Structure 1
Amino acid sequence: MYSVLNSLIKKGFVVSVDSGPSRYYPHPPAEVFSQLSVHYRKILGDLARKLQKIYREQQEDVFVWNLHGRRAIINKAKRMLSEAQQSVILALWHKEWRPLVNSLKHLHEKGLKVVILAYGALKTDFGEIYLHHASDPSYREGGIRKFILIVDRQELLFATFPKALGLWSRDVDAVKFFRDFVIHEIYLMKIKNCLSSEIERLFGKNWEKIRLTI
């Protein structure tokens, strides 16, 4: 019995009063639970940091993770944005813009570079925005909305809607491929804006004269 009492004293659950025969009094439950809460929060915090470190190290070796469902894709995008340190490149439609706009605006206000290629109409007062005409072939021919997010030139999220299928990767070549794709789309929009009438005459309103020959 004394070994149990000594253990409780060491843990701070019981106090011993030496008054002839020793007497033992419990600490107030609120104090005990407060001490336990602090103790286990510290243990769980240390464990979470160690597991996160292991998780990040393992991620470096993962080529692609598949994502299914709109919620999973949007949540992944929000997580990526919350950890951005330098830059964000994003290509998307208005339906995917709405759940991310606050996160993007916050990054812009922090001084990060935010580049947006918007398919269709999209109004914003921050970041570098480039409007892609809504006749994107994937959307026009199959109703598919592309979504590309690149964070810090290191992390990629690509998805298509409305089927809501996506992939995430840190692979250097995959990140570079999709980054180059978005940049080339921006180049094309800049050229089109400068030479719109000539391009339409040569290649058609939706560039169909090129697409039909390839």
Structure 2
Amino acid sequence: MKEAIFETLKKLNFTEYEAKAYLALLEESPLTGYAVAKNSGVPRSKIYEVLDGLAIRGDILVSPGNTPQYTPVPAKELIKNRRREAEENLELAEKSLAEFERSANDRENIWNITERNKILDKVKECIGLATKRILLEIWKDEYEELEPELRQASKRGVNVTIVAYGEISSDFAQVYLHYMGDGITEEYGGRWLVISADDSEVVAGIVSLGKDSRAAWTRHVGLVMPITEVIIHDLYLMEIMEKHRELLEESFGENLVNLRHKFSIYPDYKKHYLK
């Protein structure tokens, strides 16, 4: 009979010694640690370690005093507690696995976001979840709306680095003023926003078309990596222009206009993504 109960208790995460000590207390209690060892067959050198483990888990109760005595939690209460713990663990496992599955799917999908406000809401969500670094290419219009979230991220210890089109100043972020600024708005016919959060997710799109604004959000590494690296290469260019602007403009024209013309496919040298 006892052997069968030992096996059952083991399935409830009791060790062999814990099962023996608990059954000894069910048969007779309260008992001192010495008496539990004697009645259960658990070595005296191990009994207090075993009893402490049972007490911490809530399977037995301890009366304080110079010579502590031990009493078991009734069998029905023990089973009730184990059932509750099992249900809680299953619920947690269900939620965790569902979240992991969703996250895994997200890493393979590219989601389309329409309307400027919805795009900015998604960017705010990315900012709120960032823990290490935010890389951002942005115009002043959108920066002013995102500034509170970016400031909070900085307070959490997130490094915030911005490539700014137009005058943006910040007391918490590293800001690189783009060497063309407003000229790019004219050349491209609109404003874009690109954010890379923790090198693991990106939002990129046009945000100057109101309800017709379009952006993509993804954790797909095939896009996260090149988009993040494009921002980083823009930062390289800002550093290089800061130190060697005169030499570069001597070779490639003001604001490197000759390079932009060289790689344009339209005779007016403007971009026509929004046509």
TM-score norm. by structure 2 comes to: 0.56
Question: CA 1:61–1:210 in 2, change beyond 3 Å: closer, same or farther?
Answer: closer
- Counterpart of 2:220 in structure 1 is 171
Task: Decide which of 173, 180, 192 is 1:127's aligned counterpart.
Answer: 173
Partner of 2:245: 196
Which residues of structure 2 form unaligned runs of 5+?
1-90, 264-275
CA RMSD, aligned part only?
2.4
Greater fraction strand: 1
Cα contact 1:135–1:206 (8 A) shared by 2: no
Matched residue type, 1:131: L
Equivalent residue, structure 1, for 2:143: 97
Cα distance change on mapping 1:57 and 1:172 into 2, 3 Å: closer
Q: 1:61, CA displacement in angstroms?
A: 3.1
Shift of 1:138: 4.7
Q: Deviations over 1:159-213 (max 9, x none)?
A: 1131221001111121111111111111111111111222222211121122223
Greater fraction of residues in helix: 2
Per chain length, whose mean CA-contact separation is higher, i.e. which structure has more relative contact order (CA < 8 Å, sep 6+)?
1
Partner AA of 1:192 in structure 2: M
Asked if structure 1 preserves the Cα contact closer than 8 Å seen for 2:164 and 2:181, the reply is no
Structure 1 unmatched runs, 5+: 1-44
Larger radius of gyration: 2
TM-score (norm 1): 0.71
- Provide the secondary structure at the position in 2 that maps to 1:88: strand
The amino acid across from 2:124 in the alignment is K
In the superposition, relative to structure 1, how do residues 111 and 202 fare at CA in structure 2: closer, same or farther (>3 Å)? same
Q: How far is 1:139 from its partner?
A: 1.9
Task: Tell me, in whole angstroms, the C-alpha distance in 2 between the residues paired with 1:98 and 1:134.
Answer: 20
Q: Secondary structure at the match of 2:255?
A: coil
Q: Secondary structure at the match of 2:169?
A: coil
Correspondence 1:14-53 to 2 at 5 A: 49=95, 52=99
Indicate whether 1:143 and 2:171 are aligned: no
Structure 1 Cα separation of the partners of residues 237 and 250 of structure 2: 16
Counterpart residue type for residue 60 of structure 1: R
* 1:76-91 to 2 correspondences below 5 Å: 76-91=122-137
Partner of residue 56, structure 1: 103
- Secondary structure of the 1:197 match is helix
**Number of positions where the alignment pairs a residue of Structure 1 with one of Structure 2:** 170
Q: Percent identity?
A: 26
Cα deviation for residue 140 of structure 1 reads 2.6
Q: Structure 1 residues 59, 192: closer, same or farther in 2, change over 3 A? A: same
Runs of 4+ in 1 over 3 A off after TM superposition: 48-55, 134-138
In structure 2, the residue matched to 1:6 is: none
Q: Distance in 2 between matches of 1:129 and 1:142?
A: 22
Amino acid in structure 2 at the alignment position of 1:174? L
- How many angstroms apart in 2 are the aligned matches of 1:61 and 1:213? 35
For residues 206 and 236 of structure 2, the distance between their equivalents in structure 1, rounded to whole angstroms, comes to 22
